[in-house]
């Protein structure tokens, strides 16, 4: 704990030092606050490409982009996506660290043995209210926006968007497969690849149609979750009866024995005791082979059952919503200050109380899997995206008001390298918590885990602009782009041309 705190403070000190390594020059102009970046690392979107893309959009999208006040170029407007993506990629680690550091989904239990002390409980509430099922929805909405943005750019240049998009998603599927089975079974890239392929044909729908489809897709898994709860209630009731018969020495029927076994196994995985936690910790602190076998089996079941029947529907709904929000200018800071203020107020005003109710239900009845599925999880998954919309409103308002410009610049850089930073978080996470690294699995409480997250945040906020000052893409973005286009992409930035003499 002490060493982690010292590490976090050592990383933070440069950010506090005037003119230190974290400083980005900022100056006042007649048009407001301007970030002066001598490396011009935000020049990825060229003006001619942006204008071609702009002309390819429908009237509604063009009006939304044109509504932004001031002298900001179209490229600068699109950069708001980078800032939002940066917030999401850093925020998602607050949730993912649970899957690196302790049993999941048992980590959702605030009373999980060994992770239930005062600071740990406060950390549980913080993550649950602000980050859990809030950052993933933002990521998914941005991915949906990316479907429209990427394919429109290709088409504006006269290319075949289908060919490029399917190549892009195919390679994402491969990378997600390797990432999930070789490193960490919490991977989200493979589901994004699959859902992104399916939604390609819907990219031209009007925003209203996209919103309707989004709502339907997001509600379907909630209905399925409630139905699963009903099924498990039947299993539970039969198992309780079987347990009572077994205690009196009576012989069980085949169905009773089967239901009892299912209920006992599910209960052990859902709410493990100290012995089960220590047994799993021994595997995760062991060698790579044991971790690979354990995590790979879990991920295979998720790919065969959980994602196709439940998670992919919710992801699809959020991507569709992202398409609609992008087409109407919500994700690009194109709406008014009042719009974003109202979005934040409504998102937080409705979403946070609903999330609080869901978390309270989880905490009070975590030992009852049926009630958790039909109450706590449904509430958190319904109101989580509402809070995510509040986050979007607040971030877009910050963009328009130019709040904290230095931090915005660093977050935008982290967002430009979101793919690289996401994979880097996995590498850091497994090296800190798994047995072939420091082996801290199960040894850090929730509050201590937040110090690890803080250290990674500071590291990525420092290294992202440093990298983009010298290179056009992050390493993973460059690889993905090269594979998508089938040819090597220029990586290094060209040095600025030296001006000639003034005659």
65 lies in a domain? yes
Number of domains in the chain: 1
CA triple 415-419-424, angle to 5 deg: 105
For the segment 315-322, the average pLDDT, to the nearest whole number, is 97
440 lies in a domain? yes
Helix axes 2-16, 446-468, angle to 10 degrees: 40
Give the DSSP H/E element, type plus range, for residue 27: strand 26-29
3-state secondary structure of 29: strand
Could you read off the pLDDT of 468-496 as tens digits, one per residue? Answer: 999 999 999 999 999 999 988 889 987 76
Radius of gyration of the chain (CA): 24
CA distances from 271 to 143, 191, 260, 361 (A): 33, 27, 16, 15
Residue 298, judged by CB atoms within 10 A of its CB (0-12, 13-18, 19+), counts as middle
496 lies in a domain? no
Domain that holds residue 348: 44-485
35 lies in a domain? no
In this structure, the dihedral spanned by the alpha carbons of residues 205, 207, 212 and 218, taken in order and rounded to 10 degrees, is 100
43 close to 412: Cβ distance less than 8 angstroms: no
4 lies in a domain? no
More confidently predicted of 306 and 394: 394
Task: Report the percentage of the chain scoring pLDDT > 90.
Answer: 56
22 lies in a domain? no
How far, in Å, CA of 482 to CA of 477, rounded?
A: 8
| The pLDDT value given to residue 497 | 55
142 lies in a domain? yes
Which tokens go with 31?
């048009």
How far, in Å, CA of 348 to CA of 394, rounded?
A: 10
Could you read off the pLDDT of 31-55 as tens digits, one per residue? Answer: 333 333 333 333 333 333 444 444 4
| The pLDDT value given to residue 365 | 81
- pLDDT tier at 349, thresholds 50, 70, 90: very high
153 lies in a domain? yes
pTM: 0.84
């Amino acid at each position: 704990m002490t060493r982690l705190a010292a590490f976090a403070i050592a990383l933070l000190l440069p950010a506090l030092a005037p003119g230190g390594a974290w400083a980005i020059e900022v100056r006042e102009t007649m048009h407001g606050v301007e970030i002066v970046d001598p490396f011009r690392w935000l020049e990825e979107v060229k003006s001619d490409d942006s204008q071609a893309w702009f002309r390819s959009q429908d009237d509604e999208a063009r009006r939304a982009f044109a509504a932004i006040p001031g002298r900001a170029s179209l490229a600068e407007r699109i950069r708001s996506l980078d800032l939002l993506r940066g917030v999401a990629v850093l925020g998602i680690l607050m949730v993912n660290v649970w899957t690196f550091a302790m049993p999941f989904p048992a980590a959702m239990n605030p009373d999980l043995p060994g992770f239930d002390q005062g600071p740990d409980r406060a950390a549980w509430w913080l993550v649950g209210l602000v980050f859990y099922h809030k950052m993933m929805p933002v990521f998914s909405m941005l991915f949906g926006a990316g479907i429209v943005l990427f394919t429109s750019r290709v088409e504006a240049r006269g290319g075949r968007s289908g060919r490029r998009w399917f190549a892009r998603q195919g390679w994402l599927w491969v990378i997600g497969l390797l990432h999930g089975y070789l490193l960490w079974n919490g991977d989200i890239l493979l589901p994004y690849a699959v859902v992104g392929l399916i939604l390609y044909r819907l990219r031209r729908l009007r925003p209203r149609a996209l919103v309707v489809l989004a709502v339907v897709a997001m509600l379907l898994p909630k209905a399925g979750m409630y139905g699963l709860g009903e099924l498990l209630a039947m299993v539970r009731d039969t198992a309780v009866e079987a347990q009572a018969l077994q205690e009196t020495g009576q012989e069980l029927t085949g169905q009773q024995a089967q239901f009892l076994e299912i209920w006992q196994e599910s209960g052990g995985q859902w709410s493990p005791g100290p012995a089960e936690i220590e047994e799993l910790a021994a595997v995760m602190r062991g060698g790579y082979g044991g971790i690979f076998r354990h995590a790979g089996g879990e991920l295979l079941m998720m790919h065969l059952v959980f994602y196709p029947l439940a998670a992919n529907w919710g992801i699809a709904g959020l991507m569709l919503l992202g398409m609609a929000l992008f087409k109407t200018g919500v994700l690009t800071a194109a709406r008014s200050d009042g719009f974003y203020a109202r979005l934040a107020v409504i998102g937080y005003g409705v979403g946070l109380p609903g999330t609080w109710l869901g978390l309270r239900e989880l905490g009070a009845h975590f030992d009852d899997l049926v009630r958790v599925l039909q109450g706590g999880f449904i509430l958190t998954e319904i109101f989580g995206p509402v809070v995510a919309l509040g986050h979007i409103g607040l971030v877009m308002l910050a963009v328009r008001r130019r709040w904290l410009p230095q931090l915005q610049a660093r977050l935008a850089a982290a967002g430009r390298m979101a793919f690289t930073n996401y994979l880097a978080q996995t590498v850091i996470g497994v090296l800190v918590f798994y047995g072939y690294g420091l082996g801290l699995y199960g040894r850090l409480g929730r509050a201590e885990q937040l110090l690890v997250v803080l250290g990674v945040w500071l590291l990525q906020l420092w290294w992202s602009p440093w990298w983009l000052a010298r290179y056009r893409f992050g390493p993973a973005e460059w690889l993905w782009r090269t594979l998508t286009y089938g040819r090597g992409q220029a990586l290094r930035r060209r040095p600025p041309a030296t001006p000639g003499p003034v005659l």
